[in-house]
Structure 1
């Protein structure tokens, strides 16, 4: 592929050669989530500094006395903030590991789709790319994501025949603790292309190489 990837050039190569290899990049949701962790770290830092400054100013002005209870309270708040920082840093590191594999090439060919170092995933194992509400990655709520729903064969191949560390690259597991599983593939990011363009390219390849099948929500 040429250095600057466009939807038109990728589409042309796919149709002319039956295969296209694209430079991967972190998906939109992944970049937003990493940005969120940075915002959280800044907010925690500001809250900690503001609390410390408030106590110091109050002590200097004589409006409050520094007692044992004050020291204990400050220590508890500091411990809580330190715990929050540790949690957010762990979250950010786990995201960074995921971002690393997102730079792996995205390959579309007759044998399937390769993304984030996993594949080729057969076209019959998933449906066309689309935006849909799915379980959020780090909460019990729902969020809009660009995904490719797994078909019945895909559910078996991903959840029963793919190793755990590779399944996590396909999508986060969702569902109750006793029945967690992977139900879709997250659309990969491609350097130089919008998410909508990547979805369109995948769907064209799906029409070229895939077989009609019923996907499971």
Structure 2
């Protein structure tokens, strides 16, 4: 921090705010060089906007991104089941695309028609036989505004972020015999405006009676 004469201003109280995760302090003082720092950390995935302010002046940085590979397991033991992912926040226009071995939409669409995306992925029978089948799912993008097909990128004004949602129905998979199966639902949360993407690796643990 500098005054109008470009001299460093020590011991000035800087106020901090963030739109994602947690700051180590809401206020810190500048050091002898006029520099104030704060730490931002947390488990939420997405883009954060950090604002530093003093009196009537403020400075924003919206280039802080929290990125990791999100791994989870979806246990299915009934004839119908729904999985909803953790949310990605901080991106105004974001959707989800599939990646091998999962098949489904591979590119974002601003406002695709229909209510859902067709998604499928291979599952293997857990008996050492290696027998494989294809599971058919329905994929959605969920926001505070609406539920759309998985690869929809049209924005929602809410700050709640975007979640991927998959539904399993036995009626869509009648050719798969009873048994215990595992497979991978592999997909990404992708920003409409940039190349940023967040990887999800969802293990499907499926029991059909």
Q: The TM-score by the shorter chain falls in which range?
A: under 0.3
Q: Of Structure 1 and Structure 2, which has the larger fraction of its residues in strand?
A: 2
**TM-score (normalizing by structure 2):** 0.21
**TM-score (normalizing by structure 1):** 0.20
RCO higher in 1 or 2 (8 Å CA, sep ≥ 6)? 1
Q: Of Structure 1 and Structure 2, which has the larger fraction of its residues in helix?
A: 1
